[in-house]
Amino acid sequence: MTSQNRLIEIRWHGRGGQGAVTSAELVAQAAISEGKYAQAFPSFGPERRGAPVQAFVRIDSQEPIRIRAEITQPDVVVVLDPGLLSIVNVASGLKENGMVIINTKKPFSDIKAKLKVKCKLAKVDATGIAKETLGVPITNTTMVGVLLKATGAVELESLVEPLQNRFGRLAERNINAMKRAYEETEIKE
C-alpha cells in the first residue's frame, strides 16, 4: 500500500484500556526509526475504560507532516474490538480502495455485511493470539502485526526496539504476538 502512496493515514478504533493509543505511538516510532516522517495522537474526550476511543497515525515517506487534525478520511482503519462494528461506523470516511483491518474469527462475508462499504479487508483472531501469547486478551501489539502485514507501512523488525522500550520484560511476549499475527493474517481484496 505505501509503495503507491507516500502518505498513509491510519485510524485506530478500540475501547479505553485496549491500547489503541499505544499502538499508534509504536507504529509512528518505528516509521521515524526508518527515516520516515510520522505522527501519532489520540482522540480523547470524557471516555472511561471500555468506552470507544480513536487514535491516529500518519506516515509520510518523503515530507514532514504539517496537518494536525484528526483523520476523517483514512486509508486504513484498524479495529481492535469487533464489538465496535455494532456501535460505531468504523468505516466512516474510508478512502476509495481503503482497507479495514479487524480482530475477528468471523468470515470475510460477515464482516463485509456489517461494514456496508466496498473495501479491502485484513483479519486475524487477535484475541486468541493475545490470550495464548500474552496471557491476556489485550490485542494492541497483535493488531500491529496485522497492520504491518496488510500495508507494509513499516518493517516488522522496526517495531522490536519500540516494543522493548515500551514493555521492558514483557517485550518478548508482545513481539511474539505481533509476529504471530503477522504470519496468520488473512487478506481479501
- What are the boundaries of each domain within the chain? 7-188
Q: What is the pLDDT of residue 47?
A: 57
For the cut 50, the answer to whether the pLDDT of residue 4 exceeds it is no
Q: What is the DSSP letter of 72?
A: S
Residue range 97-107: mean pLDDT, rounded = 96
pLDDT at 74: 97
Phi first, then psi: what are they for 32, rounded to 5°? -65, -40
The reported pLDDT for the residue numbered 102 is 97
- Give dist(CA 157, CA 188) in Å, integer: 24
Alpha-carbon distance of 158 to 76, in angstroms, equals: 20
The residue written with cell numbers 515500551 in the block is: 166
DSSP state of 44: -
User: Given a cut of 50, is residue 153 above it in pLDDT?
Assistant: yes
The pLDDT confidence band at residue 1, using thresholds 50, 70 and 90, is very low
Which CATH number is associated with domain 7-188?
3.40.920.10
**pLDDT surpasses 60 at 20:** yes
Percent of the chain with pLDDT over 70: 94
What's this model's pTM, rounded to 2 decimal places? 0.92
Collapsed DSSP state (helix, strand, coil) of residue 77: strand
